[in-house]
Structure 1
């Protein structure tokens, strides 16, 4: 019988060519079978096929599926008592992964197939359409893809169809309308298109519906509908009027969509059975209909985050069963009239009300005394970010059930009522950003369950009450920006529960930091800035080992930074600026890998500034206002630290020469020279009054090996002499971290009496970007972060030249060989021999008549156009594309109309990785990070393409380029 069944099975349409392994496995199982199935072997084989398609069974629920047991006893299987055929297959939330075997279609007596909340892949087998007895099919929360099989309409007895939260595509097939018994349909959160088709209205048996798209008017035919749920389904358009005629509706949820229009004024009369309308997160407008008062069965009202306007006039006294009112983020604007907040009065009959939320609703008015008459079941009163004024009624203390009270960001004033102390269940309490005055009442110490207290940005005075030490569960406290005075109470610092943050900044607190601060071992953020705290920074702070943020700025601390702070190895932000601290910068600060922001400014620190750790990033730290510091990054412009035991100094130069002869000017560009000469003294820092180091023709002659042709190239220009003088004058006062710094100049005669002129620049030990990209001698390559940083440096320099210089300057010859890298790989733009300066007599003459370099020169220069900032942007765009692709714009591959610009443009947006230099590609371990890197690569290439378009006005502004590159860097540095 078994072999006969297998032969029959092999010829069924269910069995494809790829199921040979299945037949072999089943055949093998029959050699060992100890249970006889008689006429039920079809079900047995179908179940074994189901098991073979499962690739992952973490809970081993299918271990019982073997020949030692009757299949009716297998886990998840139910059989009929009469025929012993499978009637139900229930394996939901079992962590199963695999595909759904088409042989399930042979379970002809199946009435329920429930596989929801697993990880089934692939398509839904069309063979399921054979299950004519099937009543419930639940495949929710899986990873099924493909379309909805049209022949599911063959399941003529289907009552429940749940396909939500998968990856299905296409549209709802018209054949679905043939399921005349369907009453429960879930298709939401897929990738379907076409919305809800009108023919679905033909299924008049529908009672519960979850789907997405535009809502057709025909759904008004579902007179039996009680549950209509289409939350987060990308619904758009208005709600058809016919929907509001479905008088049996109990749960009506269209939350988090894009619905527009208004609600009918008679909604409360049309939907008398409504218990839970959930329409939050749409774009609905108009007034919130007062007729909602007639929905006497209403339990939850969720209309938040829409554009409802007008006064809130619902009479809540009729809604005795209401439990939650969720109306945040609307515009119930008032006119400051006496009855603007009258709806509060109508809440006294709502004895089951637990949550009242009306934050950010533009409510204007006074909180009435009747606020205290709301149900003692009220746990949350959220009225923040409105325009409430007047005092906080003492009747607030009658709301004994409150666990959350939020009135922040209003205009409330007066004293905090001492009746607050009666709210014994209060856990979260916020009155921040109001105008409360007077002392913080001691009664707050009675709130022993309090976990969060926010009283910042008021006008509170007096001492911080020591009774706060009774709040043993407090983990976040903000009293900043008030007028509090006196010492920090020790009792407050002895709360080990304070783990989130303690904010006391911007007050008038005095005294020293109590040593009891050491008890806050789990505190993450501490803010004590802008007070009158004195003494030394207590060493006890070193025991607060969980600190990530520490602000002590704007006080009167003195002495050194205690060495015990070295224990704070997780610190990310440290601000101790504007104090009287002294001594050297502790060495442990540059060893903290976690430190991202450090502010030591306006103290009296001395000695050398480190150049590693946080000190390697000029934007991450500040040491301004410390006159005794030296060294550090070049961008700090601090004096060099004195060397001990040696008077020998080396002078690294980068030299740019202009040599004048009767008929020839020689321009020596991009020369790298380590000029060694013994001297007794040399200025350590440039200033307006310092004298330049003198360099003679003879010294330069020796440094260049007799003007070796490997170190210069020649331009001819009769106007070079005049331009050289004007350019020297222009560059003399220009300073920027990304421009090559001039050390000195030479103007004299050579050994033959001819005019000789030269500019001597700072030595750049890491050479040019061109060499890093194209030199075979350079085995090291630039990584992605280095490339983006270099591009940002260059863009920043151009932004400075174009927009922030006293004299606007156009570079005119931007290319990789003119970008030099210092020892920290910071880029410096050099070679300004072609530069044009506005506002000088160089408008007609530059140092040379050549406008740029082939491949980098904008097309408009070829037809005689003057140099502009747009021209520099074009050159930058080509430079960017060369840095990212590794390909020179004059490469042999760029012919027959193909250019570097077009090469990059054609790769956008999906094939950018194919054109990126292999050395710049970062391989990521996770798909999420890999996708982020690809997005950054695409965004960078888009910048280069946008900068190098032919039309000058359409090129990206350089200041926008700087911002975009910084954004890309921020993303890459956080991966």
Structure 2
């Protein structure tokens, strides 16, 4: 729970010492442990919680001194340490300058502090022993310190030279991720051979590889000379290191090192999705002309998989995540045709308290972010990243999946869009807009190969219309008129349950 913001465990019977691991909860703003049976001193490790605004440790059995690091908690507005067994001098800087913001009553052994606290003056103990060191002892101490500093300097220089000569040290984002060196990735991709190149983007190249002799992987190598590539790398690492979902691509590890020329090298390593991207299935190239067409049920399953992933990012992460670049090439299909959303290079974090207003969250950004055809209209006008921007992209993706038409098709010009095309055609209540391959494989023949009846045809057309309406509602030009991602997912599941139940 490293990103928890508000934690209240007050008035229980918790015992032992305050866990030092609370120091990992660096996002904490409110922490209350009052009215328990905590013992021992206040952990020194809590010095990392500099974002705290409210801290209450009162009515426990805490002992020792008040940590001096509380003076550095510039965001702290209220500190309650009352009714413990704390002792020693009360700090005078930071929050301790104003007694209105602190409470230390009930600690009989405290002393000092600002005058308003009216505490007894601290006694100076063993003052006679505090004498200056003799010159000889001082010289020895200075010489010893010099040699320590010199040794540390030599070790650092040696380490840097060794790293330059053998640039194989990878820096994992987390201990649970395996370490992979530049040399190992070079070997896995056959020296980043063009024959293993499976894609190129604005921030780097993607290679197929075999890691450790048997693990099929995808290696995304960042082009750090490209503007924004390093920021994209950090965004993807931050987004993927703590999220887990069956419809999100699984990151194996990262490599942050230098290559054999001494240049900086950064790469992300993922599981290989054996069935490629949704883009390849919807719009196969000339050398993929023999690729089978996706069936109606497969497309619906993929749409639900993608909706599940985006709904998870929006509503079930510690902080809501905006993908910002949802499109067919960023939807991968595994060996079971399970869809997984990938490429978080443009991802943004959003405070959950302002899910629909990204302008209130510092992690959001303004500007044109994403891919033409899938970008929400408000982004083009300088609007901030938002969850509804992802909803728009999903709506366009959904319409493209079932019409087989790209949103950038030459037919769309002078304000005419895929959204408007589908919306206008839906008024006729027909399936004219459906991908022609679906009409032959799904609409005209039943699952067992026999001709389907009129009832099944009507049911099929109703299913198509329902899906198209979801796509249209998600891709409305005005953000507030769009369907929420959770509702879109729910309605797509309802379509599948209703129509696939009848073998359509």
- Which category of TM-score, normalised to the shorter sequence, fits these structures? 0.5 to 0.7
**Residues 726 and 842 in structure 1, CA contact (< 8 A), matched pair in contact too:** no
State the match for 1:209 in structure 2: none
Q: Distance in 2 between matches of 1:896 and 1:824?
A: 41
Which of 870, 875, 879 is matched with 2:397 structurally?
879
When residues 963 and 704 of structure 1 are mapped into structure 2, their CA distance, relative to the original with a 3 A threshold, is farther
Native 8 Å contact 2:274 2:333 kept in 1: yes
- 1:938 and 1:705, CA in 2 relative to 1: closer, same or farther beyond 3 A? farther
Change (3 A) 1:954 1:691: closer
The aligned counterpart of 1:766 is 275
CA contact (8 A) 2:251 2:269 kept: yes
* Alignment partners' CA distance in 2, 1:753 and 1:689: 26
Aligned partner of 1:916 in structure 2 is: 434
Higher relative contact order (CA 8 A, sep 6+): 2
Whether 1:859 and 2:347 are equivalent positions in the alignment is: no
Using the alignment, how far apart are the partners of 1:735 and 1:963 within structure 2?
21
Paired position in structure 1 for 2:342: 830
Once the two structures are superposed, the pairs formed by residues 780-795 of structure 1 within 5 Å of their partners are 780-795=292-307
Alpha carbons of 1:973 and 1:695: their partners in 2 closer, same or farther (altered >3 Å)?
A: farther
Q: Does 1:797 align with 2:309?
A: yes
User: What is residue 712 of structure 1 aligned with on the other side?
Assistant: 200
Pick closer, same or farther for the CA change 1:726–1:951 going to 2, 3 Å. Answer: closer
Q: Residues of 2 paired with 1:865 and 1:958: CA distance?
A: 19
Aligned position for 1:515: none
**In the TM superposition, what is the alpha-carbon distance from 1:718 to its structure 2 partner?**
4.7
> So what's the TM-score if we normalise by structure 2?
0.53
Q: Please say if residues 364 and 384 of structure 2, whose CA atoms lie closer than 8 Å, have aligned partners that are also in contact.
A: no
Judge conservation of contact 1:744–1:761 (CA < 8 Å) in 2: yes
What secondary structure does 2:265 align onto? strand
Contact 2:279 2:329 in 1 (8 A): yes
Deviations 1:249-271 (A, max 9, x none): xxxxxxxxxxxxxxxxxxxxxxx
Matches of 2:272 and 2:280 in 1, distance apart?
16
**Cα distance between partner residues in 1 of 2:306 and 2:342:** 10
Structure showing greater Rg: 1
Distance 1:752 1:821 in 2: 36
Match of 2:478 in 1: 951
CA distance in 2: counterparts of 1:842 and 1:723, whole angstroms: 17
Deviation at 1:754, TM superposition (A): 1.4
Normalized per residue, the structure richer in helix is 2
Distance of 1:828 and 1:929 partners within structure 2: 31
Check 1:828–1:759 CA distance in 2 against 1; reply closer, same or farther (3 A cut).
same
Cα distance in 2, alignment partners of residues 710 and 962 from structure 1 = 31
Structure 1 gap segments, 5+ residues each: 1-687
Structure 1 pair 830–853 and aligned structure 2 pair: CA distance change class (3 A): same
Task: Give, in angstroms, the shift of residue 892 of structure 1.
Answer: 1.1
The aligned counterpart of 2:363 is: 843
CA distance in 1 between counterparts of 2:308 and 2:435 reads 24
The residue correspondences of 1:665-684 to structure 2 (distance < 5 A) are none
2:375–2:392 contact (8 Å) kept in structure 1: yes
Shift of 1:844: 5.7
Aligned to 2:461: 934
1:969 to 470, 490, 496: 496
Going from structure 1 to structure 2, the CA distance change for 1:725 and 1:906 (only over 3 Å counts) comes to closer
Whole-angstrom CA distance in 1 between matches of 2:362 and 2:185: 30
Q: Which moved more, 1:803-812 or 1:712-721?
A: 712-721
Indicate conservation of the 8 Å contact 2:324/2:389, yes or no.
yes
Alpha-carbon displacement from aligned partner over 1:481-535 (angstroms, at most 9, x marks no partner): xxxxxxxxxxxxxxxxxxxxxxxxxxxxxxxxxxxxxxxxxxxxxxxxxxxxxxx
What pairs with 1:562-711 in structure 2 (closer than 5 Å)? Answer: 690-697=176-183, 699-700=185-186, 703=189, 706=192, 708=194, 711=199
**Structure 1 residue 864, shift from structure 2 partner:** 1.0
Over 3 Å counting, the alpha-carbon distance change for 1:700 and 1:711 in structure 2 is: farther
Deviations 1:580-617 (A, max 9, x none): xxxxxxxxxxxxxxxxxxxxxxxxxxxxxxxxxxxxxx
Following TM superposition, by how much is the alpha carbon of 1:902 offset from its aligned partner in structure 2, in angstroms?
Answer: 1.1
Structure 1 segment 267-278 matched on structure 2, within 5 A: none
**Following the alignment from structure 1 to structure 2, what is the Cα–Cα distance between the partners of residues 934 and 809?**
35
Structure 1 counterpart of 2:142: none
Equivalent residue of 2:389, what SS?
helix
Compared CA separation, residues 971 and 768, structure 1 to 2 (3 A): same
- Aligned equivalents of 1:918 and 1:696: distance in 2? 47
> How many residues matched?
286
Judge conservation of contact 1:814–1:872 (CA < 8 Å) in 2: yes
Q: Is the 8 A contact 1:870 1:955 kept in 2?
A: yes
Query: TM (normalized to structure 1)?
Result: 0.28
The Cα shift of 1:750 comes to 1.4
CA distance in 1, matches of 2:427, 2:372: 28
What SS does structure 1 have at the residue aligned with 2:385? coil
Residue matched to 2:333: 821
